[in-house]
Structures are given as C-alpha cells and as structure tokens.
C-alpha cells in the first residue's frame, strides 16, 4: 500500500468519525503511521485532503443504482432490491450519512457540489412511483414522501445507532446487532404494506 493510499484510508476513517472540525491532522498522521508534514506534502491542506476523500465516497454506489433503475420497471421489484442493497452499503459505511448530514448543515458550500448528484438517483425513482400511483398499483402518495419514508427507515437506525443502543437496548450491543439483522426484511414489509392500494 502506497503512502498516499495509506493517508486516504486513515483520513477517511478520522474525518468520518470526527467530522471536519473534529478531525485533527495529527490524528490522521498517527492513524497512517506517518507525521503531519507528510500530509501537507501529499495534500496541500486539510481542505484539499477532505475533498479528495469525500468525492470518492459515493462513486461505487450510484452507477449500480442507476443501472438497476434502468433495468427495472416494477416498483415493488425495485424496492425489494433497493432496501437490502442500500442497507448493506450504509452498514459498510455507517458514518457516511451522518457525516454528510453534519457537513451539509454546518458548511453547506463545502460539499454541496459533491453531494448533489451522487447521493441518490432521485428523478428515475420518482417517475416510477408516479406511474405506480397512476396505475393504481399503490395507494396515492407523493413521490417525495415515499422516497423519504424508504430512506428514513433504512438510514435512521444506522445513523442513530448510539442513541438506539443506549435508549432502546440498554447499552447491549448484541441486541442491536440482532435488531439490525432483521431490519432489512422488516423495512421491506413495512414499506410494501404502507403503500398497498386501499380497499373501497
């Protein structure tokens, strides 16, 4: 592993754990097993380092999703694919959504350009929902409400992990893991039930 890759991995870890302000160059250097000066040798400043890390974070995610959306026409099929797929991605990058939310609310300009199109392929899914409603396959619901419902059910339990472990599971990490193992199926069932067409 090159020094540069080494730094990137260390920085990703620290940035995402501490946020931009909380992350210290010294801590990144320690984590990478080098010294501060070398950080500035490879990446002129903390800002530059940050941008490099962040712009790469979502690059694995969006192409896959867009492709799947192009191949799929049925909303239920897409949801059954999307929920475990996105859950899995976020479980592998558990601090990422919280990090994005934090940075967007503290310094929107820093990552707005980066985040705008890379977080979620919104328009395609939106059209799919509109169509499903028009065809009476699901109950009437606004695109945005349904999309936020899905994202909320997936993302919240991961972002709020420390809160949930503390308040709901009394600091019991095993209970939380147990809970998360069943989460994906539960979200699918919750979503599909919630949009079933109403009986007349």
Partner DNA sequence: GTCTATAAGGTGATAGAC
Partner DNA sequence: GTCTATCACCTTATAGAC
What is the total count of residues that contact DNA (CB under 7 A)? 16
Nearest by Cα to 144 from 155, 129, 159, 132: 129
Instruction: Establish if 5 lies at the interface with DNA (CB under 7 A).
Output: no
Shortest separation between residue 71's beta carbon and its own copies, angstroms? 23
CA 73 to chain centre: 24
The interface with DNA within residues 45-64 (CB under 7 A) comprises 45-47
112 close to 104: Cβ distance less than 8 angstroms: yes
Among 36, 68, 80, 137, interactor with DNA by CB under 7 A = 36
50 binds its own copies (CB under 8 A): no
Identify which of 54, 44, 53 has the alpha carbon closest to the alpha carbon of residue 114: 54
Query: Is position 66 an interface residue for DNA (rule: CB under 7 A)?
Result: no
The DSSP result for 113-130, as a single string, is HHHHTTS--HHHHHHHHH
Please give the residues from 146 up to 185 whose contact with DNA meets the rule CB under 7 A.
none
Residues whose CB falls within 8 Å of the CB of residue 74, separated by 6 or more in sequence, listed in order:
none
Residues 99-138: x/- map of binding to its own copies (CB under 8 A)? -xxx-xxx-x---x--xx--xx-x----------------
What is the token pair recorded at 147? 């999309």
Tell me whether residue 3 or residue 136 sits nearer to its own copies (CB atom): 136
Residue span binding its own copies (CB under 8 A) among the ranges 47-55, 59-67, 85-93, 144-152: 144-152
Selected from 66, 91, 139, 172, the binder of its own copies by CB under 8 A is 139
Residue 48: closest CA among 82, 90, 14, 20: 20
Per-residue tokens: 184: 């994906």
Residue 84 to residues 154, 163, 171, Cα–Cα distance (Å): 9, 22, 26
Q: Please state, in angstroms and rounded to a whole number, the distance separating the CA atoms of residues 151 and 155.
A: 6
Tokens read off for 130: 């509109």
Tell me if 9 contacts its own copies by CB under 8 A: no
- When asked if residue 124 is in the footprint of DNA (CB under 7 A), the reply is no
Q: Which is nearer to DNA, 6 or 175 (CB)?
A: 6
Residue whose tokens read 């320690």: 30
Residues across the chain:
200
Residues within the interface to its own copies (CB under 8 A): 17-19, 21-22, 95, 97-98, 100-102, 104-106, 108, 112, 115-116, 119-120, 122, 139, 141-142, 144-145, 147-149, 151-153, 155-157, 159-164, 166-169, 179, 182-183, 186, 189-191, 193-196
Provide the binding-site residues for DNA, judged by CB under 7 A: 3, 23-26, 34-38, 40-41, 44-47
């Amino acid at each position: 592993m090159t020094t540069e890759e080494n730094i990137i991995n260390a920085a990703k870890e620290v940035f995402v754990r501490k946020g931009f302000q909380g992350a210290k160059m010294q801590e990144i250097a320690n984590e990478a097993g080098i010294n501060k000066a070398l950080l500035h040798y490879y990446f002129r400043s903390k800002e530059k380092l940050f941008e490099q890390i962040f712009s790469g974070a979502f690059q694995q995610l969006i192409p896959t999703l867009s492709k799947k959306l192009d191949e799929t026409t049925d909303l239920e099929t897409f949801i059954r694919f999307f929920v475990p797929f996105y859950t899995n991605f976020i479980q592998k990058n558990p601090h990422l959504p919280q990090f994005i939310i934090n940075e967007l609310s503290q310094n929107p300009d820093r990552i707005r350009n980066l985040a705008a199109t890379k977080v979620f392929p919104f328009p395609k899914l939106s059209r799919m929902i509109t169509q499903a409603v028009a065809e009476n396959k699901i109950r009437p619901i606004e695109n945005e409400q349904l999309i936020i419902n899905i994202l909320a059910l997936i993302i919240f339990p991961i972002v709020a992990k420390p809160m949930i472990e503390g308040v709901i599971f009394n600091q019991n990490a095993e209970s939380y893991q147990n809970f998360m193992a069943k989460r994906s199926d539960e979200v699918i069932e919750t979503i599909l039930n919630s949009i079933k067409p109403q009986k007349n």
